[in-house]
Amino acid sequence: MFRDPHFFKFLRENVIPQIMAWPYLKIWCAGCATGEEVYSLAILLKEENLYDRCQIYATDYNSNSIDIAREAQYPLGKMQVFVENYNNAGGKKTFADYYHAKYGMVHLDSGLGKKIVFSHHNLVSDGSFGEMNLILCRNVFIYFNQILQNRVFELFDQSLCHGGFLCLGTKESMEFSGLKDHYTKISDKETIFKKKYY
């Protein structure tokens, strides 16, 4: 959880203050895999007092991964890394506040899943998820060729409201997308883009 803590720290300090003005937030975690990132986001939103006015959609093409994500259980052996990442991401509490351990597994607080809808979705072939304020799709584009990347960028462009934010992985870019002029990169280090009003 909180992989690339610098990303979550930047999100907390620079993106969250900009989206607070919206009365209700729709967020899409595309390619959520087994759920660590979406629960990390849920914790961040709780700590910034935004969770109760959010709806989070967490999608992946792998149904088995979605099932694991819904369970919100992870091996206890991962906790040292999770705690370290959380602290480095600017966590405001103690990470232990969000889980309990049992039989070698960490069970996340059930309240973290209250506003999350998990769903099967294929980024290449399925349609838009509605008007989102924030989309996270990190470390998924690296598996797509240029044609598929462009198709997914079009999907995200259709799904993201003007002024909304698109977050990619550290090794990903919009540089070769025909839609890059629709966005402003808001950090040289983080791969986060803001959709222009046009």
pLDDT in tens, 129-155: 789 999 999 988 888 888 888 899 999
Tokens of 67: 């099932």
Q: Is the pLDDT of residue 19 over 90?
A: yes
Residue with tokens 């070698």: 104
Q: pLDDT band for 13, please (50, 70, 90 cuts).
A: very high
Which whole number is the average pLDDT over 110-134?
91
**Global pTM exceeds 0.85:** yes
Q: Is the pLDDT of residue 188 over 80?
A: no
**Spatial separation of the C-alpha atoms in residues 136 and 170, rounded to whole Å:** 12
Q: What is the pLDDT, as a whole number, of residue 72?
A: 95
Looking at the 3D structure of the chain, how many domains does it have?
1
Domain of residue 153, residue span: 5-14+23-195
Q: Is the pLDDT of residue 75 over 90?
A: yes
Half-sphere exposure of residue 159: CA atoms within 13 angstroms, side-chain side: 25
For residue 123, what is the domain's CATH number?
3.40.50.150
Contact 40, 8 (CB under 8 A): yes
Q: What is the pLDDT, as a whole number, of residue 178?
A: 84
> Which of 34-43, 152-161, 169-178, 183-192 shows the lowest per-residue confidence on average (mean pLDDT)?
169-178
Contact 34, 73 (CB under 8 A): no
Q: What is the pLDDT, as a whole number, of residue 28?
A: 97
Q: Is the pLDDT of residue 198 over 80?
A: no
Q: Is the pLDDT of residue 51 over 80?
A: yes
Contact 90, 9 (CB under 8 A): yes
